[in-house]
Amino acid sequence: MVMSISHYIKEIGRGKEGARHLSREHAADLFGQLIDGSVTDLEVGAFCLAMRIKGETAEEMAGFLDATQQRLHAIPTHGCPTVVLSSYNGARRLPVLTPLLALLLARQGLAVVVHGSATEDARVSSQNVLLALDIPAKTAITNIASGGVQFVPTALLSPGLAHLLDVRRVIGLRNSAHSLVKLMNPCDGPVVIVGSYTHPEYAVSMTATLKLTQATALLLRGTEGEPVADPRRTPAMDAIFQGECLRVQEPQTGSLAQLPQLPDLDAASTARWTREVLDGNLPVPPPIAQQVAHIVHLSAQMRTTP
C-alpha cells in the first residue's frame, strides 16, 4: 500500500527560514514510512532535499531513531558489555583504522559490533580490512560474545534503512539516514555508542540527540568520518551518560614531535599493519590508546551505575 508523506514535506520543505520542525512523534511516523518503503521515490527525494536544507532538530532525529529501533533486526546481547562502531565513510587520505579500534576493545573483553555499508565506492572500507583480518561480514543476525568482533551490514539490520542510504548514489547528497546510523544502537540492550563527526556544528546536534535519547556514548571528531581517533593528533572526546555530557579528553595542541608510522590505504596493507600493532611489533598510536581507555571506562561506568 502506497501512503503519502506530502503533509510532512509541506512542513519541512519551506526553505531554511520558513521550514517548520516536526515533533518527535511525527518525525517517527515520517521516517517509519520511509524505511517501510510505503512512499514514492519522488517523496523520498523531496524528503532528502528538504531535510538537507532545513537540518534535523534533536527531537526529529530522536523520532527517526525511534522509528528505526522499532523496525531493526536487533542483535541479541544477553547482557554482554557491548560497544557499537558505525563505519560508513572508509579511507580516502588516511588508512581506515576502525578495525584496529574494534580489535583493541575486544582485547579488553568487550563485544564489538561494527555496522556499515559502502557509501563511497572509491574508498577502502572497514569491511574490506576486517575481511583481510579473517573477520567476514555477517550474513545473518547472531548473538555476540565478549571479546568478539562482528561486522554487520546495514541491510541485515534494516533493508529499508540501507535503501535510504543508497539514495545518495542517485541524488549525490547525504541525507538524514547518514547522520542517524552514527547514533544508532543496533542491539537489543544497552551499549556504548562511539559517534564521530566531521564538522564542529555536527558535534552540537549529535550531543543534543544522544542526551535526549539517554544514550551512553563517546563522541569525537573521527578520522575522515570514521569513529576512530586520528592516529597523528588526539582529538577532543566527550562522554555522554545519563543525559549529561562531560569532556573527558582535551584536544592535542601544538606541533607534533613525530608522525606515527602508518600503512598504505589499501585493505591488505592496513590489515598487515593492524596485525603488527596487535602483535606488539608496532606501538598503538597514543590517540587510539586513549580512546580505548575512555570507552572501557564508560562501559564499566554504565554497568555499575543503577
Q: What average pLDDT does this structure show over 107-124? A: 86
Strand, coil or helix: what is 163?
Answer: helix
Kindly give, in sequence order, each residue whose CB lies less than 8 Å from that of residue 153, ignoring residues fewer than 6 positions away.
115, 116, 117, 127, 137, 138, 162
- Tell whether the model's pLDDT for residue 199 goes beyond 90: no
Kindly give, in sequence order, each residue whose CB lies less than 8 Å from that of residue 64, ignoring residues fewer than 6 positions away.
27, 28, 31, 56, 176, 180
Strand 82-86, strand 192-197: pairing: parallel
In this predicted structure, which of 60-64, 290-294, 298-302 has the lowest mean pLDDT?
298-302
Is residue 295 very low, low, confident or very high in pLDDT (cuts 50, 70, 90)? Answer: very high
Domain coordinates of the chain in residue numbers? 6-71, 82-304
pLDDT at 90: 83
- Tell whether the model's pLDDT for residue 177 goes beyond 70: yes
Q: Where does 6-71 sit in CATH, by number? A: 1.20.970.10
Fold (topology level) of 82-304: Pyrimidine Nucleoside Phosphorylase; Chain A, domain 2 (3.40.1030)
Q: What average pLDDT does this structure show over 287-306? A: 93
Four-CA torsion 296, 243, 204, 237, nearest 10 degrees = -20
Which of the two residues, 209 and 89, has the higher pLDDT score?
Answer: 209
- Tell whether the model's pLDDT for residue 66 goes beyond 70: yes
**pTM for this one?**
0.93
Distances (CA, A) of 282 to 108, 229, 263: 19, 17, 11
